[in-house]
């Protein structure tokens, strides 16, 4: 698990849109806002999902594997700080990365497992400018949310110790598709 820490942005209008629903659910930002990230919680067995990623420029979409989902979208006003965020999309094989343009930092991302078995092991940052998704085989589509003027520190957090974060962040590591532990 990762947490992004930033000094006060000076944007009082950061908005969390939430939606609970069936297998495929979208949380939508209010009018005049754009999505800058999101998340998904599969609320029932088998506790997996195929996609947790942006839906257009104002929603976060999650679904797959049949259980109900709770979806969150992080939103900022359009025409302000939200317009400093760009989105890079990449499609590829089992391990796919989306890389921010030179000089920009990744501040979030998403993944869609677009081919069988329609699931992934990891969707997260890999260094300070790349979002990676992969595992279990099958093609993936990956999104990286990027910002040039954001002062962001990435912290690696232990899911067993909430709040126990390492501000050095997660180590960058290659994800070779031939590694059996990554499938």
d(CA 180, CA 178): 6
Exposed, middle or buried: residue 44 (CB in 10 Å: 0-12, 13-18, 19+)?
exposed
Nearest to 25 by CA among 76, 78, 73: 73
Rounded to the nearest angstrom, the gap between the alpha carbon of residue 126 and the centroid of all alpha carbons in its chain is 12
Exposed, middle or buried: residue 182 (CB in 10 Å: 0-12, 13-18, 19+)?
middle
**pLDDT at residue number 166:** 47
pLDDT, one tens digit for every residue, the chain (183 residues):
555 565 655 555 788 999 999 999 999 999 999 999 999 999 999 999 999 999 999 999 999 999 999 999 999 888 877 888 999 999 999 999 999 999 999 999 999 999 999 999 999 999 999 999 999 999 999 999 999 887 766 566 654 444 444 444 444 444 333 333 333
Q: Provide the whole-model pTM.
A: 0.82
8-state DSSP, 62: E
């Amino acid at each position: 698990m990762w947490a992004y820490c930033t000094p006060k942005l000076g944007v009082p209008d950061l908005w969390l849109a939430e939606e609970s629903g069936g297998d495929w659910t979208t949380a939508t930002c209010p009018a005049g806002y754009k999505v800058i990230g999101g998340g998904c919680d599969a609320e029932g067995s088998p506790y997996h999902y195929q996609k947790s990623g942006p839906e257009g420029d104002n929603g976060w979409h999650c679904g797959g594997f049949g259980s109900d989902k709770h979806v969150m979208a992080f939103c900022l006003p359009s025409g302000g700080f939200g317009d400093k965020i760009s989105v890079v999309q990449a499609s590829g094989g089992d391990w796919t990365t989306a890389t921010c343009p030179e000089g920009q930092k990744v501040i979030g991302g998403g993944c869609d497992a677009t081919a069988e078995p329609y699931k992934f092991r990891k969707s997260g940052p890999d260094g300070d400018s790349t979002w990676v998704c992969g595992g279990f085989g099958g093609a993936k589509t990956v999104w990286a949310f990027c910002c040039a003027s954001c002062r962001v520190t990435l912290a690696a957090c232990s899911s067993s110790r909430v709040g126990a974060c390492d501000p050095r962040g997660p180590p960058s590591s290659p994800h070779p598709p031939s590694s059996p532990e990554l499938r």
